[in-house]
Structure 1
Amino acid sequence: MMVVGLTGGIGSGKTTVANFFRELGVPVYIADDAGKRLMLTSEEIKKAVIELFGEKAYPTDAPDRNYIASQVFNDSAKLEALNRIIHPAVAADFQEWLSRQQAPYIIYEAAILFESGGHKKCDFTILVTAPHEEKLKRLQARDNSKIEEIEARMANQWSDEKKLKLADFQIENTDLSLTKSQVKELNEILLNSRKN
């Protein structure tokens, strides 16, 4: 089955694009959601995260995401260590999910698809982009975050320019109706690419 990676910087609207693919009947796997679910359900992950960050990471059966985020925010070594715990578990969960799908292709949505090397396991990749100011506006509206916090989170991700060099397709997400038509067009291209 064809695996199509979908990514984009924070605030680009990759979840919106993923939902448009879903509306066309394409199965969508969202790596972030899987990571959150596994942090709740996997005892192995819970144990490893507590070893890394201490008991404060899991004050109850659920992780304290704000505390964990504050620990990795300016510490790339801790962020890498956390990713080493979560990513293999998500990869195994994805393979299990993939084995149950029956479709010409699926969408694998991941925030750090290129940064993590995940794009190498995809047949095609799609990068969702939006102007910087637009991303800031969306994130402020969504999270009530301060501009400085948003900029710091953006700085932890690769730039769109760097990602574009690796992406097979780009969806510019500024106008929803245009975005939707780009998704429909891309769906046709992907379906036809299977026939060649």
Structure 2
Amino acid sequence: MTARDRPFLLGLTGSIGMGKSTTAEMFRAAGVPVWDADAAVHRIYRPGGPGAAALAPLVPGAVTPDGGVERGALRGALAEDPGLLGLIEERIHPLVAEDRADFLARAAAPLVVCDIPLLFETGADTWLDAVLVVTAPPEVQRARVMARPGMTAAEFDRFLARQMPDARKRARADYLIDTSLGLDHARAEVHSLIARLSGSRHA
């Protein structure tokens, strides 16, 4: 498959509380295939998936009797030994890449969205054609996140510490959607992008 034959790959990302998942659903509702990196990890970790075999040598306590991976136990192991993270990523990232390749091979569309929370942090921008960052003012972001059940200020700060600052993401983005301007604005921006990018691969 040549570059002109394959879909245009648009990365979608944004920090916690910025509206990334809602924006991804807008693309789906418009008929655009969306590959979800978090959903791919869930598939890999479910019983019968390849995650258990990959992680058993590193974190045997996280492997369930039915051949799945218990994410709570995995988080506990990482809390005790943060150095495990890099080793786990070495084993899981290739499986995520396989899941994505399978999805793209089945996606008969001119445009595909790849929903990746840690897009820039994992270097995904090197293989994507363009990146859309969803954003909102800090006070809107904080209010959204703190409204989630069980969320604490400390946990919110931990999320932010893991993610590239919003300002840096915006500086590296090809496209931006400010979700604080309302759902109708975001939906119109999504439809405008679909119209613009769907024909770009074959232009």
- Where does structure 1 differ by over 6 angstroms across 4 or more consecutive aligned residues? none
The 1:141–1:65 alpha-carbon spacing in structure 2 relative to 1, beyond 3 Å, is farther
Amino acid at match of 2:124: G
Aligned match of 2:139: 133
Amino acid at match of 2:196: I
Instruction: Please list every run of 5 or more consecutive structure 1 residues that lacks an aligned counterpart in the other structure.
Output: none
Q: Secondary structure at the match of 1:144?
A: coil
Q: With structure 1 as the length reference, what TM-score do the two structures score?
A: 0.89
Aligned match of 1:97: 103
Aligned match of 2:3: none
Distance 2:127 2:28 in 1: 21
Identity of aligned residues (%): 33
Is residue 136–residue 147 contact of structure 1 (8 Å, CA) maintained in 2?
no
Aligned match of 1:58: 63
Aligned match of 1:178: 185
Is residue 8–residue 200 contact of structure 2 (8 Å, CA) maintained in 1?
no
Distance 1:170 1:53 in 2: 39
Distance 2:149 2:84 in 1: 24
Q: With structure 2 as the length reference, what TM-score do the two structures score?
A: 0.86
Alignment coverage as a number of residue pairs: 195
Instruction: Please list every run of 5 or more consecutive structure 2 residues that lacks an aligned counterpart in the other structure.
Output: 1-6
RMSD of the alignment, in Å?
A: 2.1
Aligned match of 2:17: 11
Amino acid at match of 1:158: M
| Residue from 39, 45, 50 that aligns with 2:51 | 45
Structure with greater proportional helix content: 1
Deviation of the 1:125 alpha carbon: 0.8
Deviation of the 1:98 alpha carbon: 0.7
Deviation of the 1:149 alpha carbon: 0.9
Aligned match of 1:78: 84
The 1:169–1:73 alpha-carbon spacing in structure 2 relative to 1, beyond 3 Å, is farther
Asked if 1:154 is matched to 2:160, the reply is: yes
Distance 1:105 1:14 in 2: 18
Is residue 5–residue 109 contact of structure 1 (8 Å, CA) maintained in 2?
yes
Is residue 9–residue 129 contact of structure 1 (8 Å, CA) maintained in 2?
yes
Asked if 1:124 is matched to 2:130, the reply is: yes
Is residue 51–residue 69 contact of structure 2 (8 Å, CA) maintained in 1?
no
